[in-house]
Structure 1
Amino acid sequence: MTTDPVDTADFYALEDLLDPDEQDFLHGVRKYMTTEVDPIINRHWQRGSFPFEIVPGIRDLGLAGLPYRGYGCPGRSFLLDGMVAMELARTDPSIATFAGVHGGLAMGSIYLCGNDEQKRRFLPDMARMDRIGAFGLTEPEVGSGASGGLRTTARRDGDSWILNGQKKWIGNATFGDLTVIWAKDIDDGQVKGFVVANDTPGFQTSKLKDKIALRVVQNALITLDDVRVAEKDRLQQANSFRDTAAVLRMTRAGVAWMAVGCARGAYENALRYAMEREQFGRPIAGFQLVQDLLVRMLGNITSSWALCARLSQLQDQGRAEDRHSSLAKAWCTVRMRETVGYARELLGGNGILLEHNVGRFVADAEAIYSYEGTREMNTLIVGRAITGLSAFV
């Protein structure tokens, strides 16, 4: 008997929650990732380079800004958007991150916090991926404390704003066209958002090197030195960190989906290995302890997938809140980390070789575990929701 890892990963037929047209869309993404990305991604991961040759194909899939309505965006469901994020990460979490930064964080900031004119000006080009976006919130000295501790400043100067500061870990910024920069207004102390063209004088990027995770993602350290931004490029509906948080609420759900995809990719490759690798005259997939690891992985994936599916349904109904995204992100990334560890354990020494397509997921899981809110920060958000008591300091 032969086993198709793709079929076994969807153990409870969760793809059936999509309508037939959405399933066709998802399978189109799967085919592209399998045929065009999977054969080349290890080479780029090893070099820390980005496969720009796949961008036209990603563009043709039409997945940028998938759940947004109007302004040239597809207007599909959050459920489909989540499963697409999972599908991208199932082949490579870095490509899922590239798409999530552009379509989720950058486009999402404009979609949720921009006025109608700004949406019409930016979103159609971004949906076609004619302009690639980035999202600048995290700073060298400020990660989890972004709500009140941003050091990047914005000062009003007539019809413009002057931005100064630094941003760190900004995906897509080394080659993108525009970056949404979040800065503290020195007059009222509130966090505001600005759409900044990357070729603006004073806007400088340097690539972060020597990463051990998401090596394909081109993360930048951004330095803003008296960067002048027109008032028309200030996101007009972003008046405090509460508005920034609305973007993070949406994209944090996407990261939970990516965690499921990362776990799924490790599981599927481990299962293929177990079916092919022979010891003592038979495939190791027939050994009890190997099957125990496979079932542990599958249980983690299935429970996380089901949690994310329900979260996306709540998003589609307009009922999702911070607590829902935070529980999904915290839970799914912990289960992901456990799952990729099981996959690496199953492969033994071969688990650290890129050629077996598990070690990359093990490494990339470490970044997914941390970004868009650590487990601890998301735990505090959920803890406050269930007790009514804030444990934030």
Structure 2
Amino acid sequence: MRIAIAGGSMAGLFSAALLRRAGHEVLVFERSRSGLEGRGAGLVAQEEVFVLLRTLGLDEVSRLGVVARERIALERSGAVIQRDPRPQMQVSWDHLYVAVRMLIDDEGYHLGQAVVAAGQDAKAAWLELGDGKHVEADLVIGADGIGSAVRRTMLPGDPGPTYAGYVAWRALVPEQLLPPSAADILSGRFAFFHMPGGQALGYTVAGAQGELEPGERRYNAVWYRRTVDLARTLTDTEGRTHPFSLAPGGVSAQARDALLVAARQLLPAAFADVFAAEPQPFAQAIFDMEAPRMADGRLALIGDAAFVARPHTAMGVAKAAGDAMALALAVERGWTPEARAAFEAERVQAGRAIVGYGRRLGASLA
């Protein structure tokens, strides 16, 4: 089959690698012009990720990560009020992305190609790209995230994502830039701070090139904050309002200053130091979304194009892996009506469960 995939992040990559391995012609179209390396932090790998990596012959990726020797909870003063001594490993998102990306040659992975629409008829499906190109395929897969153009085509009456009432402010800081007082508390630990209407957490992840040595790694911090004026929060340095997030470099100096003042007022000093060390914090609004369908004729949805679960679940990449493996199996079975129905039944149930779990975990933050 000739298969076109909208979106080249984890869900799209996983599907492309599995389908190419099965002998299909696969074309991936990713809107980013420079690639996605360096954008990820760490992830807690679930069983679906391990199975997928074994299938692709990439077992070693699951063994490369930073181990948090314990989980701790802080109070506002910075004192540790709870400890869990069980270690936990965060696999490098970047290392995982690069390892799978290397399975797809450059002729099959097209950067700077935003998908703006999709369609199908009895004979073929197609993607419309931002530069006006028309790409036909036997099957089109929407792995193009929360704002999916493929979903808009396949489910024109679906309301799409629902804002959950809070925003994740993020910092990803080279470990060597942390003040010693912050590093002493946070490095090598999975740390939490709970507050009314908010939560901060952080953990050490691999460096931008996969470095695992102390001092060469990065610290990943997230601060969930209730936010009523979402449009203002997601307005970038040039005055443009974004629907879902602001990438590094998009947050205005005024907004960053306000974030740092609030961090000093509300967070333990160690977490405030992390955000102070981050010159380009970025923001991700938290949404819920559940697609009623994941397959329709020659169109399919996977990953965040179908279900968006809150980050608290730590299951986004696992969900993408599960979707990709189920889709590849349905294609192996000929993408018949029966195969499509089985794929959809399995993954809609899984997606609904994960979204529901995320709502429960984030209930106190909304």
> What TM-score comes out, normalization by structure 2 length?
0.28
> What TM-score comes out, normalization by structure 1 length?
0.27
The one of the two structures with greater contact order (alpha-carbon pairs below 8 A, sep at least 6) is: 2
Tell me which protein shows more helix as a share of its residues. Answer: 1
Tell me which protein shows more strand as a share of its residues. Answer: 2
